Each structure stands twice: as structure tokens, then as C-alpha cells.
């Protein structure tokens, strides 16, 4: 009985010891690999002139019933879309981005339950303008056609992938040049690349919003919209093994 107990105890001890040694070996190996690497960062920038404008136009109507408010909203929306088509904006570049129906309440002065007095329908259209020379006229005409407010005008590069590829190449070259300089300065030999990370930036140019009364645009006439340039930035980090 005692002999069997001793055998099992010895076996269990060996198993636990083996697991501990394997875990320790893996940890040392990982630490060694991490310690024998070096990382370099690089950045590439490409400037691009925007070729499209994207805006949101809000159409708001109120009525006693949801159906009446929706019908009024549809009629105003139809006029807005007709105006946009007259500006040679394709139907595929006009889409509804949101559509909401809200009850309108009257709140008693001295407490009590609020009562519904009507309904408001708020529809937002996202419009893509491909001819930047028409942006000013479109903005001015939208409120005349029935839009209550124009929001979030942004000038963008429609297809930035080609520019991102160019910026990425520049960033990789920048990182590799830094690696070449350092290895010569400190006398190390670089092995294979063991890790690569990328971060891409580049944003549309936001401008302003204005409403039917011209608030935010200075009033009178179409606003002047400078296109400027977009900056597309790619940052990379390359990690090498040290031989």
C-alpha cells in the first residue's frame, strides 16, 4: 500500500515538474525572441485635391397626424430631389440617410400628463456632388427647394485607395531607410521582418451648415466653397529580428 502511494507520489511530482519546465522554457524563448528584435517607424504623406462634395439636407414637416406629416414630407422631398436632378446630380448619388417620426407634446403648466398635439417627420438626404463648381449653387438652391437645413458639408477624395498605396510605399521606404542608418551606426545585422503594423489617416474637409434663414452662411447668394486639399497619411512600424 505504502509502496503504491510512493510510486504515485513520485509520478505526480515528475509530471508537475515537467509542466513547470516546459512553461519556463516557452517563457524564456518568447522573452529571448522579443529581446532580439528592433522596430522602426516610417510615415508617408500624399496631398490630394478633393473631387466630390457630400452634404446632408434635412426636410422637416409637422401635421396633426403621422400620415399627414409623412405626406407633406414626401411632397417637399420630391421637390428637393427634382431640384437636385436639374443640377445634373444622378439619382444614385441621392439617398435617404435617416427618416424619423416624432410626436409633439404640450406640457401642462402645473403638472399632469402631457398631450400629443401633432407629429413631426424629419428626413435627411445624403447628396454627393461630383461637379465641385456646382456646390455653391446646390447649397443655395436646396433651402429654396424646401430643405430646412444643410449640414455636414465635406469635400472628399472619392477613391483614396490609390493614394493610400502611394503613401504606404513612402512610409515603408522611410522605415527601411531608418533601419539601414541605424544598423550601420550601431553595428547590428538585421534579419527577417517579424511584424508589420499600419495606421492610415486622412479626412474629409468639413465646412459648415446653414438653414433656411441663411444662418451660418452670411445670408444672400450662394456661399463661396474653397476646395483646398486633403492630406492622406500612412504610418507604419516594421519590426526586424536581430541576427
pLDDT in tens, 56-105: 999 999 999 999 999 999 999 999 999 999 999 999 999 999 999 999 99
So what's the pLDDT on residue 34?
53
CB 80 within 8 Å of CB 91: no
Q: Are residues 56 and 150 in the same domain?
A: yes
So what's the pLDDT on residue 157?
87
Model pLDDT for residues 49-60, shown as the tens digit of each residue: 889 999 999 999
Q: Are residues 120 and 30 in the same domain?
A: no
**CA–CA dist 142, 140 (Å, integer):** 6
Which has the closest alpha carbon to 129: 51, 208, 207, 53?
53
23 located within any domain: yes
So what's the pLDDT on residue 184?
82
217 located within any domain: no
So what's the pLDDT on residue 243?
86
Neighbours of 146 (CB within 10 A): 21
Q: Are residues 13 and 87 in the same domain?
A: no
Residue spans of the chain under pLDDT 70: 1-35, 202-227
163 located within any domain: no
56 located within any domain: yes
Give the chain's length. 243
**CA–CA dist 175, 238 (Å, integer):** 7
Q: Are residues 102 and 140 in the same domain?
A: yes
152 located within any domain: yes
**Which domain, by its residues, includes 87?**
52-156
So what's the pLDDT on residue 99?
98
Q: Are residues 57 and 24 in the same domain?
A: no
Which residues, in sequence order, are CB contacts of 111 under 8 Å at separation 6+? none
Residue in the structure block whose three cell numbers are 439617398 = 95
138 located within any domain: yes
| Residue 179 vs residues 149, 175, 184: alpha-carbon distances, Å | 53, 6, 9
Q: Are residues 31 and 98 in the same domain?
A: no
SS (H, E, C) 70-132: HHHHHHHHHHHHHHHHHCCCCHHHEEEEEEEEEEEEECCCCCCCCEEEEEEEEEEEEEEECCH
Q: Which three cell numbers stand for residue 132?
A: 465641385
175 located within any domain: no
Domain boundary among 156, 180, 202: 156
Q: Are residues 9 and 71 in the same domain?
A: no
Distance of alpha carbon 181 from the chain centroid: 36
So what's the pLDDT on residue 39?
93
CB 176 within 8 Å of CB 238: yes
Residue in the structure block whose three cell numbers are 473631387 = 51
11 located within any domain: yes
Instruction: Kindly state the helix (H) or strand (E) to which residue 58 belongs, with its residue range.
Output: strand 52-63
Domain boundary among 129, 156, 183: 156
Q: Are residues 143 and 62 in the same domain?
A: yes
Q: What angle do CA 137, 80, 148 make, to 5 degrees?
A: 85
Q: Are residues 152 and 56 in the same domain?
A: yes
Domain boundary among 111, 127, 156: 156
**CA–CA dist 73, 43 (Å, integer):** 49
So what's the pLDDT on residue 185?
84
Q: Are residues 14 and 101 in the same domain?
A: no
Q: Are residues 146 and 106 in the same domain?
A: yes
Q: Is the dihedral of CA 227, 228, 232, 233 positive or negative?
A: negative
Number of domain units in the chain: 2
Residue in the structure block whose three cell numbers are 447668394 = 221
- CATH code for the domain in which residue 69 is found: 3.30.70.2970
Q: Are residues 88 and 144 in the same domain?
A: yes
**CA–CA dist 4, 235 (Å, integer):** 64
So what's the pLDDT on residue 225?
59
So what's the pLDDT on residue 187?
84
Amino acid at each position: 500500500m505504502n509502496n503504491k502511494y510512493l510510486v504515485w507520489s513520485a509520478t505526480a511530482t515528475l509530471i508537475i515538474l515537467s509542466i513547470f519546465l516546459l512553461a519556463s522554457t516557452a517563457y524564456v524563448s518568447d522573452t529571448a525572441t522579443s529581446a532580439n528584435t528592433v522596430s522602426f517607424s516610417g510615415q508617408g504623406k500624399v496631398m490630394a485635391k478633393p473631387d466630390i462634395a457630400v452634404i446632408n439636407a434635412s426636410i422637416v414637416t409637422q401635421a396633426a397626424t403621422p400620415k399627414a406629416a409623412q405626406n407633406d414630407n414626401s411632397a417637399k422631398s420630391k421637390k428637393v430631389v427634382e431640384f437636385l436632378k436639374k443640377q445634373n446630380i444622378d439619382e444614385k448619388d441621392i439617398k435617404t440617410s435617416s427618416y424619423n417620426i416624432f410626436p409633439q407634446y404640450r406640457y401642462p403648466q402645473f403638472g399632469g400628463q402631457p398631450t400629443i398635439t401633432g407629429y413631426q417627420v424629419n428626413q435627411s438626404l445624403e447628396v454627393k456632388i461630383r461637379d465641385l463648381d456646382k456646390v455653391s449653387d446646390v447649397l443655395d438652391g436646396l433651402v429654396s427647394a424646401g430643405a430646412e437645413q444643410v449640414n455636414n458639408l465635406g469635400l472628399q477624395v472619392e477613391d483614396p485607395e490609390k493614394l493610400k498605396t502611394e503613401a504606404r510605399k513612402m512610409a515603408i521606404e522611410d522605415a527601411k531607410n531608418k533601419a539601414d542608418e541605424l544598423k550601420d551606426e550601431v553595428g547590428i545585422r538585421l534579419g527577417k521582418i517579424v511584424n508589420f503594423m499600419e495606421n492610415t489617416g486622412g479626412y474629409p474637409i468639413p465646412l459648415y451648415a446653414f438653414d433656411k434663414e441663411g444662418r451660418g452662411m452670411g445670408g444672400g447668394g450662394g456661399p463661396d466653397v474653397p476646395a483646398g486639399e486633403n492630406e492622406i497619411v500612412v504610418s507604419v512600424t516594421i519590426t526586424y529580428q536581430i541576427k
